[in-house]
Amino acid sequence: MGLFDKIAGAFEKKQCDICGGEIGMLGNKKLENGNCCKECVKKLSPWFTDRKHSTVEEIREQIEYREQNREALKDFHETVSFGEDSSLFLIDQQNRRFVVLPRSNVDIYQVNPDIIEFDQVREMKLDMSYSSVEEKIMRDGQRVSYNPPRYEHTFNFYVKIVTDHPYAHEHRCPLHARSLKVHTAGPKMNRSYRLDALEDLTRFLDYYPPINYRDRVQVDRELDDCYYFAHMGDEICRTIMRG
């Protein structure tokens, strides 16, 4: 097939193999053996990532299951919840199951989060990303180091979940909306292994505390935020893995 045919093919109107509706221009979502429209894709599990390798039959089954899940949400009652401005975990400890909403201010029936049984969880752990950059200042038209040098450390905390659920296999749930920053002044902290970065930074600050009071207060608050979300992640994992 020539390039022209490929382009023409992309603009050709197709039919959705799931709902039978017409697929608009460039709105086609490929399946392994057919086509799917955007509206039908929206009905799939929020954590589902394997659409292109799913057959028309598998997608039909999933959409049927999704409607049952939406019904079952009416009987879902959390006994405890975790989450601030990002992922919201609703956990029903009595019936040993949970759901995760992407944010707290969404309609649960619209998002239709998959109900996951505790026993379906294979792996669940606090996950984190860490990076640091030196902050510089403009002096005589050049970016130069502060004296002593300043660094900005960036943390993001997640709960990583791997399950046996047929459609919600794996997800990394962010625990806060904005990256957390910690600011230090002094030598460069030695490169840290990701998961130890927060402890390393705390030890580092024992050696090189901020010089003035206001910076000390700010850094304490920044570290507190990091520990708050790290502990929240641990608590979520404990509640589900030991529940």
Say whether residue 40 binds Zn ion (CB under 5 A).
yes
**In this structure, which amino acid lies at residue 227?**
Y
16 binds Zn ion (CB under 5 A): yes
Q: Kindly give the residue spans of alpha helices, DSSP state H, lying in the chain.
A: 3-11, 38-42, 56-72, 108-111, 197-207, 213-241
Q: Is 56 in the site for Zn ion (CB under 5 A)?
A: no
Contact at 8 Å (CB) between 123 and 198?
no
Q: For residue 231, give every residue at least 6 positions away whose Cβ sits within 8 Å of its Cβ, in sequence order, or none.
A: none
Does 230 contact Zn ion by CB under 5 A?
no
Q: Which residue has the tokens 């390393």?
A: 200
Give the nearer residue to Zn ion in terms of CB position, either 16 or 99: 16
Only segment of 40-48, 120-128, 187-195, 197-205 that touches Zn ion (CB under 5 A): 40-48
Residue with tokens 């910690």: 182
Determine the interface stretch with Zn ion among 37-45, 112-120, 171-179, 223-231 (rule: CB under 5 A). 37-45
Options 9-17, 77-85, 148-156, 200-208: segment touching Zn ion (CB under 5 A): 9-17
Least separation in angstroms between CB 109 and Zn ion: 20
Nearer to Zn ion, 19 or 73 (CB): 19
What count of other Cβ atoms lies within 10 Å of the Cβ of residue 182?
A: 23
Q: Does 44 sit near Zn ion (CB under 5 A)?
A: no
Residue 62 CB-half CA count within 13 A: 25
Residues 6+ apart with CB under 8 A from 213: none
| Whether 137 contacts 152, CB under 8 Å | no
Shortest CB 11 distance to Zn ion, Å: 19
Please tell me the count of residues contacting Zn ion according to CB under 5 A.
6
Q: Give 40 or 237: the residue with its C-beta nearer to Zn ion.
A: 40
Please select the residue that binds Zn ion; options are 28, 29, 37, 237, rule is CB under 5 A.
37
91 sits near Zn ion (criterion: CB under 5 A): no
Residues forming contacts to Zn ion in the complex (CB under 5 A) are 16, 18-19, 21, 37, 40
